[in-house]
Structure 1
Amino acid sequence: MAEIANLQCYLASLWLFYLAIEMNIQDTSSLSTSDVDQHLEMGLRLLGQGQLQDALSHFHAAIDADPQNYLTYYRRATVYLALGKAKHALPDLQQVLKKKPDFLAARLQRGNVHLKLGNLDEAHIDFEDVLRRDPDNTEALHAYTLIDQVREDVRQAEAARHYGDHETHVALLTRVLEVCPWSAPLRQRRADSYVAMGDLIAALSDLRTTTRLVTDNRAGHLQMALLHYRLAEAQESLGEIRECLKLDQDDKECHNHYKKVKKVVKALDNSQEYLNAEDFEACSRSASKVLDVEPTESAVRFRALERMCTCQAREAAPDAVATCTRALDLRREPRVLCERAEAYMADDMFDEAIRDFQQALELDEGYTRAKEGLGKAQKKQKLQKKRDYYKILGVKKTASKKEITRAYRKLAQQWHPDNFATGDEKEKKKSEKMFIDIAAAKEVLTDPDKRRQFDNGEDPLDPETEAGRGFNPFGQGFHGFPGGGAGGGPFHFKFHFN
């Protein structure tokens, strides 16, 4: 009995459910004429205000309520066209002409849509029909006369492409696309010729339009992804290949490219983060992973080598010059030339550094970094003939203050004149000079301002300057060395090294 009662309840519920659906259908289809008119009025008002999506919603409602009103279809087609959705507009225009074959405005509109889509035969029929009914229709007559010229241009363009004359092919299709701007096949053909000519930017522009004109254009998204990749625009390539996978996540070609470009993007992003954090070794190591993922595409490999060059030059790594040279073998860019110049300067190869800065200026005469670098390299080359404080202490140019002080103490203990007080005069003079140079090196390299001056090619203790003439290592009392006699006099220093 309980099962029967449950079954009765279920059937009653099912009956109520279908009744509700039927009532909803009746409610939707039984809108009054005034309601339909209100939707049309609102749609027209919103259309005039440029609120196309809202206008479209009202026209949808009006057509659902009154599917026999050809004017509503015509107005909705107008909105679709304003939204650039020509293929949605065509079915509405078909409905208009099915319900009212003599509606010339709709036939003219359909002819224009066919012409813009490159459907020349269909456009020819529509314009011919309009002119049969209205021989003085100037718009139809103008469009009708264009069709023969467009056909001839397309024929000649195909012949040019067949013979590999891509420039002529592009020129002719450019003229055709002024009349048929919504033709995805013609834009695809022009894009292919742009690729053959090496104009990848122009090709991308045409392909981007085809992805808007064709609903499921996985091939277009894949081609765009590959072109962005060839331009070393890895992030853009990743974005396009994701659009392809949204349309079909099992697309094998798109998935294979996705796996590769994702690795490239991750490696470059990580290297940039390390560069920002001044972890130059990790920066170079991360960028080098791109070379493992991409063995052939020169633009992508250049980006990886360029980043490695930057990181290694900042670190003054031994391989910096070689890495920068590998990047420059692929593409000569002013920034990379300056990075290699900095790497040369770190090795005191000033002739080579000056040459690179000059070449960078030949490529970009207004490049500030190259101008400043050239001046710095020339000053340092001149300074090279004088004292090199880093070499005197035997420390790297990246040495910390603690490392500089440690090297100074060790050398000062070794070369202090007191150690040579009883030796021959020649050794004593040598020790005095070495001690002065060691003290001068410590004076410059432990003072941030003076060290910056020296790194920029100026010796703050140059004897020709006032600061240099005032420098006296024996009268200043350096750390660990109590003050002694004046330069040239007897030395009586006592050491207290920690």
Structure 2
Amino acid sequence: MVSPRACVHKLGSALPLLLVLWDLHYEGAECGLNAEVERELEMGKKLLAAGQLADALSHFHAAIEGDSDNYFAYYRRATVYLAMGKSKAAIRDLSKVVELKQDFTSARLQRGNLLLKQGKFDEAEEDFRRVLESNPSDKEEMEARAQLMKSAEIQRLSSQAQSAYLEEDYYTVIGLLDEILNVCVWDAELRELRAECYIREGEPGKAIGDLKAAAKLKSDNTEAFYKISTIYYQLGDHELSLSEVRECLKLDQDHKGCFSHYKQVKKLNKQILAAEELIGGGRYQDAIDKYETVMKTEPKVHVYTTRAKERICHCFSKNQQSTEAIRVCTEVLKLEPENVNALRDRAEAYLLEEQYEEAIQDYESAKEHSENDQQILEDLERAQRMLKQSQKRDYYKILGVKRNARKQEIIKAYRKLAMQWHPDNFQNEEEKKKAEKKFIDIAAAKEVLTDPEMRSKFDAGEDPLDAESQQGGGHPFHRSWNSWQGFDPFSSGGPFKFKFHFN
């Protein structure tokens, strides 16, 4: 469908040609003008041809001030108004032209075309008939007859649309209005009718364009702004909803529907902004509480409940509350299986729970729905490394702690296991050898997980003590038990208070 703006653009691009044709047809019409008015008209014509509309308009204003009965100046100004998308002002000037010069068929034909675009069929047809009665050129006659036929056809379609609407056949109405509005592009009532049909057909998003056009075409159209705001709200865009309802209140601050809706949207918007600010500050539990309030504020519009749960899922994941994160993220993904944010947050929670295969599956799903996201690719590779790592030596499992364990928890677990598996506790030679190996693994785990840099490497899927990743062969834990005799697991330094060197 051609928009009003596109129609104006088309007209604007043809203006220089129109002016030339008009000048040829009415050659000599400017004779007899006073010099000042003639100069203003000439300047305005040049600026119009160059596309400098605002400047051209100023000169035509001046020409009309100098001679208020100059139909030529009104016609020029109408042309500028059309190029600027001001159809109502253009029609006023064209009407003045027709009033001053009854046989000016070009102005009457132009006005008829504009009236037809506004859906004013009777007035438009009157202009076309008057053109035919005024000894028009062959081209003008052909256009007037064609427009009369078009008007009759549009009115026939309009009658069909009204009947279909009464029968609640909104799909048919939309199809008919599509054809009608290709011609009557500036008919606000027809656009509002098509918007209503879209809403009744369960496609409110498609109604927004027509309602926005209607808000511009009809003065003080508070109802259009109100409907746009409520549609945005139902679609979950509270910010645009707030913007549109404010436009309604600018026109009528006492509008009952707009004022009530404004209070609801403003309250919800304030809560969401506060929650996001808390997330930005790392205050995840407070943000969770705030988003739970959002769900209570708007329980009827499900999109806000889903968005709130998505953000709660994110907060739990960032706060390393993996069990809760998996539960809430899963609730979101049941409703929206392709929700990339929930997939990523659940994957991170799965990693904390050492459920690597599940995490990989979520990252792969996220990648399918967001192929160009480099961060997802990096996270997927990290999860794959962690899975491979878990199949070798997992320092967290060795100490029996979670991946988000604090340093003191790690040291406590280490000391308990070190005492339990100290080889001096075993007499049997085979058991002693087993304890020595176990003890060295426990010591290695403690060394890696209490060193921030080494732990960071391990969490990224790289074992800093893996012989395969070290140049020069083995690592310091490939030593005999004799190296550790005399070690006190409760000392502050532990077994690695001295440095080791690669062989």
Alignment deviations for residues 216-275 of structure 1 (CA, whole Å, 9 cap, x no partner): 111111111122222222222222112111112222211222222223333333333444
Shift of 1:108: 0.7
Given candidates 170, 184, 188, the residue that maps to 1:184 is 188
Q: CA RMSD in A?
A: 3.3
Matching residue's letter, 2:492:
F
Matching residue's letter, 1:231:
L
Shift of 1:117: 0.6
Matching residue's letter, 1:269:
L
Deviates more, 1:131-140 or 1:110-119: 131-140
Q: 1:415, 1:431 within 8 Å by CA — same for their partners in 2?
A: no
Shift of 1:206: 1.7
Matching residue's letter, 2:396:
Y
Change (3 A) 1:330 1:33: farther
| 1:124 aligned onto 2:130 | no
Query: 1:106 maps to which residue?
Result: 107
Query: 1:141 maps to which residue?
Result: 145
Q: 1:117, 1:182 within 8 Å by CA — same for their partners in 2?
A: yes
Query: 2:330 maps to which residue?
Result: 325
Shift of 1:344: 2.3
Query: 1:168 maps to which residue?
Result: 172
Query: 2:70 maps to which residue?
Result: 69
Q: 2:401, 2:413 within 8 Å by CA — same for their partners in 1?
A: no
Structure 2: gaps (5+ residues): 1-32, 494-503
Partners of 1:391 and 1:422 lie apart in 2 by 22
Partners of 1:412 and 1:436 lie apart in 2 by 13
Partners of 2:309 and 2:319 lie apart in 1 by 15
Change (3 A) 1:469 1:232: farther
Given candidates 345, 348, 354, the residue that maps to 1:342 is 348
SS at match of 1:421: helix
Shift of 1:416: 4.6
Query: 2:4 maps to which residue?
Result: none
Matching residue's letter, 1:346:
L
SS at match of 2:475: coil
Partners of 2:40 and 2:143 lie apart in 1 by 31
Q: 2:220, 2:251 within 8 Å by CA — same for their partners in 1?
A: yes
Shift of 1:381: 4.3
TM-score by length of 1: 0.79
Shift of 1:306: 1.9
Q: 1:210, 1:220 within 8 Å by CA — same for their partners in 2?
A: yes
Structure 1: gaps (5+ residues): 1-31, 476-485
Query: 1:421 maps to which residue?
Result: 424
Query: 1:237 maps to which residue?
Result: 241
Q: 1:305, 1:323 within 8 Å by CA — same for their partners in 2?
A: yes
Query: 1:294 maps to which residue?
Result: 298
Deviates more, 1:439-448 or 1:315-324: 439-448
SS at match of 2:133: helix
Partners of 1:467 and 1:278 lie apart in 2 by 40
Partners of 2:469 and 2:71 lie apart in 1 by 94
Alignment deviations for residues 310-342 of structure 1 (CA, whole Å, 9 cap, x no partner): 222122224212221232233222332232222
Alignment deviations for residues 389-435 of structure 1 (CA, whole Å, 9 cap, x no partner): 23444554345xxx426632662376258966255448755653443
Partners of 1:365 and 1:418 lie apart in 2 by 49
Matching residue's letter, 2:275:
S
Deviates more, 1:91-100 or 1:422-431: 422-431
Query: 1:93 maps to which residue?
Result: 94
Given candidates 481, 485, 490, the residue that maps to 1:487 is 481
Partners of 2:426 and 2:113 lie apart in 1 by 106
| 1:408 aligned onto 2:392 | no
Q: 1:412, 1:439 within 8 Å by CA — same for their partners in 2?
A: no
Matching residue's letter, 1:250:
D
Q: 1:461, 1:468 within 8 Å by CA — same for their partners in 2?
A: no
Query: 1:24 maps to which residue?
Result: none
